[in-house]
Amino acid sequence: MTLFDAGSEIGGQFNLAKRIPGKEEFYETLRYYRKMIDVHHIALRLNTRVDAAMLKQEGFDEVIVATGIEPRTPELEGIHHPKVVSYIDVIQGRKPVGKRVAIMGAGGIGFDVAELISHEGKSGALDIDVFAREWGIDFKNHPRGGVTGVVPQVAASDRTVYLMQRKTDPLGKTLGRTTGWTHRMVLNRRGVRMINGVEYLKVDDAGLHTRINNEPQLFEVDTVIVCAGQTPLRSLYDELQAAGVKATLVGGAFEAAELDAKRAINQASTLAAAV
């Protein structure tokens, strides 16, 4: 079995997710899979972007296509303005983020980006004292329910962040049932402003122009971060189909609607076991 990746490391989007404060455990997930590749003697070919001709020439009997996604770019006047950046550039630290920021799109990635850019200091996932302070937990005196009753201390952000969505639903409705409320609460405590029912009109030097409740509203921001969803990246799969090579889609390339690595890993493992 051979595993190809165009990137210099395994993991695809998990390499973005692991940089979000609170998701540091994904480093361990990646370390585990990297080790398993050696344990099971899988030939790993990194920095290798494959195409159908190459796979056909090498004579593989089956190809599992896990090429992931492409970020969706909304059609909007000013979308190529220098103040508009993609979540990938922000998470990878390739583009600077100003003090006043609008995030377009409040799905899982929008929330993660809000967390990243409003976060100050150590991550509570890496330091138990920070975690205890953030949630008002007293680990020493064991008061009733473990909580001290004092107001949790969350390090304030020096950025003004607007997290926006077009839908009129409350923000964060699609986040995990057991953890979604914690993300909303933390961002609220840091002063991130959550706005629904936003119609995006254009971006220009003045900022992000919108219409909310039929009223024009300008957000005078320095940076607009686009988190407007993802579409499956299937060009390799389509090429393979055309070349008559047996191929199966898994993960984000199969369905990009939600952030769901569990489904991607399950699909790939089930398929690999059956091949």
Chain positions contacting ligand FAD, by CB under 6 A = 4-7, 12-14, 16-17, 20, 23, 49-50, 66-69, 91, 108-109, 112, 236, 251-253, 259-262, 264
Q: How far is the CB of 217 from ligand FAD (least distance, A)?
A: 28
Q: Which is nearer to ligand FAD, 208 or 259 (CB)?
A: 259
Q: Which is nearer to ligand FAD, 222 or 255 (CB)?
A: 255
Q: In angstroms, what CA-CA distances link 119 with 73, 182, 190, 215?
A: 26, 14, 8, 32
- Nearest approach, Cβ of 108 to ligand FAD (angstroms)? 6
Task: State the minimum distance, in angstroms, from the CB of residue 73 to ligand FAD.
Answer: 15
Between 49 and 211, name the residue whose CB sits nearer to ligand FAD: 49
Output 207 or 251, the one with its CB closest to ligand FAD. 251
| 2-41: burial string, b at 16+ Cβ within 10 Å, e else | eebbeeeeebbbbbbbbbbbbbeebeebbeeeeeeeeeee
Minimum CB distance to ligand FAD, residue 54 (Å): 9
Do the Cβ atoms of 245 and 56 come closer than 8 Å?
yes
Q: Which residue number, 15 or 217, has a Cβ lying nearer to ligand FAD?
A: 15
